[in-house]
């Protein structure tokens, strides 16, 4: 029978690393938090091969003495808390004291640090949890940590890592979150020797968003500043009608800490249910503040999940605050909003909008950042621009040639047109009974197969634009676009780089209107980021591109004549799968004589 024994520190650290260090981005996150807790105003992050071969984080913070540096590599050694009660008044990002020993146990870990007043710095090298050397070194005040050969002592963990591209995307997203949390700190991110973004110190959150996500995104945001019930919500939210196909630009912070909170995310989505169509997500960069004792950040070792003491109260406060701000856009003077208790009135306060700084104490709003006078907004400036109907010549495409849609020879049954109901449903009489046709679903199926065949053949008709469409992206989306320019050029787009993270759309496929170019490309890049258009499977990528394109290609007039609907039926029945739309919805419903008799109880 095996005896009970105490694990060695090395084994205990490797076990802890399995919880704290899930992937390379977790290493960057932990080291970034240490740098910011040390008061750094300049942080540089470099990584190679998705973080597998190198991760380097260098800052100009307070630094450490030799004794503190050695002690920091021991388990549960931290300067952030002293007793359990400190968890209820956390003013720092880190507090567990597990990150450094966990990282050092599964990598080659080199630390260089010097504090103010010391003549020399300290260099510590640890390989797989074993100390290699401790010696003096020369360096400026601050800390530099270099992590190489991640998971070299636990090779089984390396097998569970994703591709370099996926791991790199997680690292970039992590650095962006902390750059948003601390706009007064200068951030530089370098991937494989290429600068992804370099953002200097910014006075406001809007400036940092413009640096990272682009000026077009920043211009589509409005400030929000609400307080009440012992809670606060400030930051920037999207105007009504401005949305994205993914949640990548819906970012929330709790007491300056970036978190994944279902409570806050659903509150934001619910607030926009009348301002955005279904399936679209709002733009939001918001900071939620509350008493540290009312939120538990010690739910998971990664500290990304939080639990509120009263989630219904938090959800209600956020919904009221966002709805009040969205409605306030039509008032003559914009300003902060005082949120009364549930059922109470909403009061407009001052028009100062705070920008979050890097202060970690929510009780000191004056240190959170500077103020920015909000500009009065007129409702006409915030309303959604009317969509220009796409002119298709003809609106219903002609029956496709055999080369476009290859199908077996079929006999089209005689469908006699009866009526058009609600502008969307066409009723036909057939020998077997009645058919109810969904116009949009039928058009989407016809266009989907037409575009898919065009993409496969490589013969995509394109139109050059008299006035190029400008497109400004964040660094991640910019990198995705640059990597896939060849794919886009082969499918009717012509896009040229016109500066850092700035592009011009010179030509478009004939099925797209210029006004739709920017939102479509943003949605397309979101699909690239989510992996819905895989790089290695070109056929699947083309099919998904066609699926996204039909939403832009199909523009239906309110009315349609009998000839147009009969032509649509002929084209639909000539497709490979006429029964469903590309999204899987039925294109038509057939009620035969027996079904009609059963319904009327004959």
**SS3 readout for 87-114:** HHHCCCCCCCCCHHHHHHHCCEEEEEEE
Q: Where are the domains of the chain?
A: 9-199, 205-382, 416-589
pLDDT at 422: 84
Residue of higher predicted confidence among 314 and 306:
314
Residue 335 belongs to what H/E stretch? none
pLDDT at 522: 87
Distant-in-sequence contacts of 534-538, Cβ < 8 A, 24+ apart: 535/484, 538/487
Tokens linked to 188: 């530089």
Highest mean pLDDT among 85-94, 255-264, 408-417: 255-264
pLDDT at 362 over 60: no
**What is the reported pTM?**
0.67
pLDDT at 80: 57
pLDDT average, residue stretch 558-573: 83
Contact 453, 404 (CB under 8 A): yes
Residue 270's pLDDT band (cuts 50, 70, 90): very high
Burial zone of 127 (CB within 10 Å; 0-12 exposed, 13-18 middle, 19+ buried): middle
Residue 567's pLDDT band (cuts 50, 70, 90): confident
Look at residue 276 and give its three-state secondary structure.
coil
Phi, psi of 271 (to 5 degrees): -65, -25
Q: What's the gap between Cα 290 and its chain centre?
A: 25
Residue of higher predicted confidence among 305 and 294:
294
Domain 416-589 belongs in CATH node 3.30.1370.100: yes
pLDDT digit string, tens, across residues 455-481: 888 888 888 998 999 988 877 788 788
Tokens linked to 133: 């050397």
CATH architecture assigned to 9-199: 2-Layer Sandwich (3.30)
Highest mean pLDDT among 82-86, 217-221, 381-385, 456-460: 217-221
pLDDT at 28: 94
pLDDT digit string, tens, across residues 46-91: 999 999 899 999 999 999 999 999 988 887 666 655 565 555 566 6
pLDDT digit string, tens, across residues 178-215: 999 998 999 999 999 988 888 888 888 999 998 888 88
Bridge-partner residues for 194, per DSSP?
Answer: 191
Q: For residue 394, is the peptide bond before it cis, meaning its omega torsion is within 30 degrees of 0?
A: yes
Q: What is the overall mean pLDDT for the chain?
A: 79
**DSSP-assigned states of every residue in 210-269:** HHHH-HHHHHTEEEEEEEETTEEEEEEEEPTT-EESSSTTEEEEETTEEE--HHHHHHHH
Fold type of domain 205-382? Ribosomal Protein S5; domain 2 (3.30.230)
pLDDT at 142: 95
* DSSP 8-class letter at 131: E
pLDDT at 15: 56
- Give the number of C-alpha atoms closer than 13 A to the C-alpha of residue 427, restricted to the C-beta side: 8
Tokens linked to 47: 């990584």
Domains 205-382 and 416-589 share a fold: no
Contact 32, 42 (CB under 8 A): no
Q: Which of 255-259, 349-353, 445-449, 518-522 has the lowest mean pLDDT?
A: 349-353
Look at residue 118 and give its three-state secondary structure.
coil
């Amino acid at each position: 029978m095996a005896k009970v024994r105490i694990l060695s520190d090395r084994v205990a650290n490797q076990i802890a690393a399995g919880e704290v260090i899930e992937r390379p981005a977790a290493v960057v996150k932990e080291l970034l938090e240490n740098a910011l807790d040390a008061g750094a105003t300049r942080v540089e992050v470099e990584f190679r091969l998705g973080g597998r071969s190198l991760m380097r984080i260098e800052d100009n913070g307070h630094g450490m003495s030799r004794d503190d540096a050695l002690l920091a590599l021991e388990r549960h050694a931290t300067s952030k808390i002293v007793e359990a009660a400190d968890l209820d008044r956390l003013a720092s990002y880190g507090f567990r004291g597990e990150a450094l020993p966990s990282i050092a146990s599964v990598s080659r870990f080199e630390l260089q640090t010097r504090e103010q007043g010391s003549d020399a710095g300290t260099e510590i090298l640890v390989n797989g949890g074993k100390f290699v050397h401790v010696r003096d070194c020369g360096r400026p005040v601050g800390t530099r940590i270099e992590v190489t050969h991640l998971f070299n002592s636990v090779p089984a963990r390396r097998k569970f890592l994703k591709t370099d591209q996926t791991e790199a995307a997680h690292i970039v997203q992590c650095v962006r979150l902390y750059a948003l949390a601390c706009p007064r700190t200068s951030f530089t991110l370098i991937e494989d020797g290429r600068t992804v973004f370099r953002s200097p110190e910014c006075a406001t959150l809007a400036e940092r968003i413009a640096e990272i996500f682009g000026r077009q995104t920043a211009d589509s945001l409005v400030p929000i500043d609400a307080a009440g019930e012992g809670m606060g919500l400030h930051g920037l939210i999207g105007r009504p009608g401005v949305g994205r196909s993914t949640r990548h630009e819906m970012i929330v912070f709790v007491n300056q800490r970036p978190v994944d909170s279902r409570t806050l995310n659903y509150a934001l989505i619910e607030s926009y249910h009348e301002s955005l169509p279904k399936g679209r997500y709002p733009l939001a960069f918001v900071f939620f503040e509350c008493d540290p004792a009312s939120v538990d950040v010690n739910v998971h070792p990664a500290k990304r999940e939080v639990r509120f003491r009263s989630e219904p109260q938090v959800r209600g406060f956020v919904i009221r605050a966002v709805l009040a701000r969205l409605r306030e856009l039509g008032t003559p003077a914009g300003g902060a909003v005082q949120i009364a208790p549930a059922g109470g009135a909403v009061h407009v306060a001052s028009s100062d909008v705070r920008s979050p700084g890097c202060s970690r104490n929510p009780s000191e709003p004056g240190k959170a950042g500077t103020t920015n006078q909000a500009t009065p907004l007129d409702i006409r400036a915030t309303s959604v621009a009317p969509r220009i109907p796409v002119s298709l010549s003809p609106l219903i495409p002609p029956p496709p040639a055999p080369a476009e849609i290859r199908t077996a020879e079929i006999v089209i049954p005689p469908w006699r047109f009866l009526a058009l109901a609600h502008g969307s449903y066409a009723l036909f009489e057939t020998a077997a009974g009645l058919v109810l046709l969904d116009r949009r679903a039928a058009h989407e199926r016809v266009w989907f197969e037409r575009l898919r065949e065009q993409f496969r053949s490589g013969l995509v008709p394109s139109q050059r634009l008299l006035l190029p469409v400008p497109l400004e992206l964040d660094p991640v989306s910019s990198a995705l676009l640059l990597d896939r320019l060849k794919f886009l050029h082969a499918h009717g787009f012509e896009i040229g780089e016109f500066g850092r993270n700035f592009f011009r759309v010179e030509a478009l496929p004939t099925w797209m209107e210029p006004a739709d170019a920017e939102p479509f490309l943003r949605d397309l890049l979101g699909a690239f980021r989510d992996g819905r258009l895989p790089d290695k499977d070109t056929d699947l990528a083309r099919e998904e591109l066609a699926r996204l394109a039909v939403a832009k290609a199909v523009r239906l007039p309110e009315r349609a004549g009998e000839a147009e609907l009969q032509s649509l039926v002929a084209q639909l029945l000539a497709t490979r799968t006429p029964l469903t739309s590309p999204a899987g919805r039925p294109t038509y419903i057939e009620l035969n004589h027996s079904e009609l008799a059963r319904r009327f109880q004959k």
